[in-house]
Amino acid sequence: MSLPFPSVGRVVHYVSYGTPGGEYASQCRAAIITEVGEWPEGISDADKGNIAVPVGLAVLNPEGMFFNRGCMQSELGHEGGTWHWPERV
C-alpha cells in the first residue's frame, strides 16, 4: 500500500530532536504542511507515493509554534527533524 501524497494543509507528525543532554526527549509534535517541494522530473503519479519530497511545516508545540522548511519524510525510523503520517488508532 502506498502512502498518500503530501499536500498543503495536511496534518502530520514532526519528530523533535530533543536535547543533547537528554533533558528533553525526541517526540512527535502535530504539524501542518505549508509547502511541498518538487518531485524529480518524469515521476508518474503512481510513483509519487513511494518517493519522499521535502515539505515545509508549521509545527505546534506546547511552548509555541515554529516553522521548518525542507523537512524529509521518515515513516520507519522517525529520526529527529523528520515528519511522518500520524499512526492510525
> Could you tell me the residue ranges of all domains in the chain?
11-84
| pLDDT single digits (tens) 47-88 | 666 667 889 999 999 889 999 999 999 988 889 999 999 988
Q: What is the pTM of this model?
A: 0.82
Lowest mean pLDDT among 17-21, 42-46, 74-78: 42-46
Average pLDDT value for residue range 13-28: 90
Could you give the CA distance from residue 46 to residue 25 in angstroms, rounded to a whole number?
37
Could you give the CA distance from residue 45 to residue 42 in angstroms, rounded to a whole number?
10
